[in-house]
Amino acid sequence: MGKMKVGIIGTGNISGIYFQNGSRFESMEIVACADLDVERAKAKGSEYGVRGCSVEELLADPEIQLVINLTIPQAHASVCIQALEAGKHVYVEKPLSVTREEGKRVLELARQKGLRVGSAPDTFLGGGIQTSIKLIEDGWIGTPIGATAFMMSGGHESWHPAPEFYYQKGGGPMFDMGPYYLTALVALLGPIARVTGSARISFPERTITSQPKAGQKITVEVPTHVAGVIDFASGPIGTLLTSFDVKGGSALPRIEVYGSAGTLQVPDPNTFGGPIRYCRAGSKEWSEIPLVYGYAENARGVGAADMAKAIMTGRPHRASGELAYHVLEAMHGFHEASEQGKHYVMESTCERPAPLPLGLANFQLD
């Protein structure tokens, strides 16, 4: 079938893992990379043996069919639109865009042009969450009743070299980490019907303690502690708590799914592997469940590779623009519900992504 030729736009920190994994997939080959800073693109390109060039050059290259957009969130929508206007499919890092309006515009343009949009996170395609989906589908927990998801942290100013972004519009714990948790929950339980929540800025000013900006102050513009409730269309009720305000530790699990016949502890949705723990109804004993799928190591890029294979074979791709938009709308919904004091009813829906088939070798797709 051959490999689809792919170009990367945005050669910052996250690009390394895409380059490392990109060439290992059977369905795609990274042939070029571009950045606003062309010198940076050329340096990254020479590191990975691909052509570094300007964004304009990359978009003008007729052999590149798919663009992987790894720019900063504020530029996600505009670069997606540039790629679509150039006649290329596009796969973008999370979130799909900062605003719902931009997200809608990207999906609408793709529809008009007969092109596809995909979006991270693709961690739900990892062995951990795929095995969890199979356990639910095979009836291990019976009928799903509810789920909890917790992302508790003290914020990024203690370790990140440039943490200001996380406290500006488009940042905050919900927009930074919410995509991992919400995408996993939709993959496990299907689309969301409505959400509500409470959100606040606990510390209006924060001090950077990491190098090189130690001592600088950050004015916080976005809620940093967000407690949400989710009504899934299929019936279960979810709780999602995301925080940058936890100054001590937290011993909460990442995700648990409760059912009529048992409870499943789902692994960290920011990773691809395990562990998965299971407790049967009526028992107090937890047992660890082995993974029955590959992609348990850092397989970032599998969503783009799945999209390339899907385009070539004509099936739907799993890390879809519709899924990413549904998650984006829910994230805004939690904040809006808190501001307005009422439930937010979702306008969008999406298909629950098809589980991967059993027995795939690593770096292969169906």
Same domain, 115 and 252: no
In a domain, 334, yes or no: no
Overall domain count for the chain: 2
Burial 239-257 (b: 16+ CB within 10 A, else e): ebbbbbbbeeeeeeebbbb
In a domain, 239, yes or no: yes
Same domain, 163 and 221: yes
Q: Can you tell me whether residue 352 is helix, strand or coil?
A: coil
Residue keyed to tokens 């809006």: 336
In this structure, which amino acid lies at residue 365?
L
Neighbouring C-beta atoms of residue 278, cutoff 10 Å: 18
Kindly report, residue by residue over 289-308, the tens digit of the pLDDT: 999 999 999 999 999 999 99
Residue keyed to tokens 């984006």: 328
Same domain, 233 and 173: yes
In a domain, 304, yes or no: no
Torsion sign, CA atoms 218, 223, 227, 233: negative
Q: Determine the pLDDT at residue 297.
A: 93
In this structure, which amino acid lies at residue 213?
K
CA 14 to chain centre: 13
* CATH code for the domain of 238: 3.30.360.10
For Cα atoms 140, 144, 146, give the angle at the middle one, nearest 5 degrees: 130
Same domain, 137 and 277: yes
Domain hosting residue 17, numbered range = 4-119
Q: Which residues of the chain have pLDDT under 70?
A: none
Tell me the Cα Rg of the chain: 20
In a domain, 83, yes or no: yes
Q: Determine the pLDDT at residue 2.
A: 87
Query: In terms of DSSP H, where are the helices of the chain?
Result: 15-22, 38-48, 55-60, 73-85, 100-113, 127-137, 172-189, 302-313, 321-340
In a domain, 71, yes or no: yes
Kindly report, residue by residue over 30-58, the tens digit of the pLDDT: 999 999 999 999 999 999 999 999 999 99
Q: Which of 97, 119, 141 is the last residue of a domain?
A: 119
Same domain, 109 and 179: no
Q: Determine the pLDDT at residue 283.
A: 96
Same domain, 177 and 87: no
Q: Which of 119, 139, 157 is the last residue of a domain?
A: 119
In a domain, 25, yes or no: yes
Nearest to 73 by CA among 146, 204, 179: 179
With contact defined as beta carbons under 8 Å apart, do 166 and 266 qualify? no
Dihedral angle, C-alpha 334, 337, 341, 342, nearest 10 °: -120
In angstroms, rounded to a whole number, what is the distance separating the alpha carbons of residues 10 and 30? 13
Q: Which of 271, 289, 307 is the last residue of a domain?
A: 289
* CATH code for the domain of 60: 3.40.50.720
With contact defined as beta carbons under 8 Å apart, do 206 and 220 qualify? yes
Torsion sign, CA atoms 100, 103, 105, 108: negative
Same domain, 158 and 261: yes
Kindly report, residue by residue over 180-224, the tens digit of the pLDDT: 999 999 999 999 999 999 999 999 999 999 999 999 999 999 999
Same domain, 56 and 189: no
Same domain, 98 and 115: yes
In a domain, 335, yes or no: no
In this structure, which amino acid lies at residue 276?
I
With contact defined as beta carbons under 8 Å apart, do 133 and 203 qualify? no
